[in-house]
Amino acid sequence: MTILLTGSSRGIGAAIHQALTDAGATVIGHKSSNGGSASGLPADFANPAGPTALWNAALEQAGGTIDVLINNAGVFEASPLGDGDWTAQWERTMRINLTASAELCRLAVLHWQARGFAGRIVNIASRAAYRGDSPAHWHYAASKAGMVAMTKTIARGYAREGILAFAICPGFTMTGMAEDYLSSRGGDALLADIPLGKVADPAEVASVARYCALEAPASMTGAVIDVNGASHVR
């Protein structure tokens, strides 16, 4: 079982990488251009050529077959309405969070169709897809809502070919990015909005991703799974 995992260098991605490796899967990781010294194939998703370059490099490393794609890479960057570069920031977030994921999903589906293989896609979206986010994060919420809709479309379109798709919607998760956000939003007041009383640990999200990638029954395709401490229920 060979899995391509984007954004594997830290936070939720690093936890998913560990969970899958512990389960015996071969994981081809990816790091962004600012991924530091972490291992993984480099690709800048802000560059339109980045996703295809990553797919081709991963396919070569995998020996020609990738069984599962997990789209985890993304950015969460504030853009208040008064910013002069608001539109540019919107386009950057969409490019990295949604368009790059869509391009990789497309390449994966074509790969499996051409070989007559079954395959799985796991997209790491966000609670923001349903609940929205702060006034400075229109772009982030919209990108994650698009990812959920794309996942459902893939699931409905290719299930008969054995191509399955799942989305996971974490709420706040204690990565470095979330710690900064919690601090900026008042910390305790934000936690009071989570009935569980705490944000998720990356390992909790990773356990769901591992299940979707390796074990979830085919009839679950199209499922959107919440991991948010009951801060948003549907």
Contact in structure between 124 and 74 (CB atoms under 8 Å)? yes
Q: 31 an active-site residue?
A: no
Contact in structure between 172 and 181 (CB atoms under 8 Å)? yes
> Tokens at residue 218, please?
């085919």
Q: What are the C-alpha distances in Å from 172 to residues 22, 50, 75, 90? A: 25, 28, 14, 21
Amino acid at 31: K
Spacing of C-alpha 101 from chain mean position: 8
Catalytic annotation, pick one of 140, 152, 158, 198: 140
- Angle formed by the axes of helices 138-158 and 100-115, to 10°? 10
- Rounded-to-integer distance, Cα 197 and Cα 167, Å: 24
- Rounded-to-integer distance, Cα 17 and Cα 226, Å: 20
Q: Supply the DSSP symbol for 39.
A: -
**Cβ atoms within 10 A of the Cβ of 230, count?**
10
Q: 140 an active-site residue?
A: yes
Catalytic annotation, pick one of 31, 130, 144, 181: 144
Q: What residues are labeled active site?
A: 140, 144
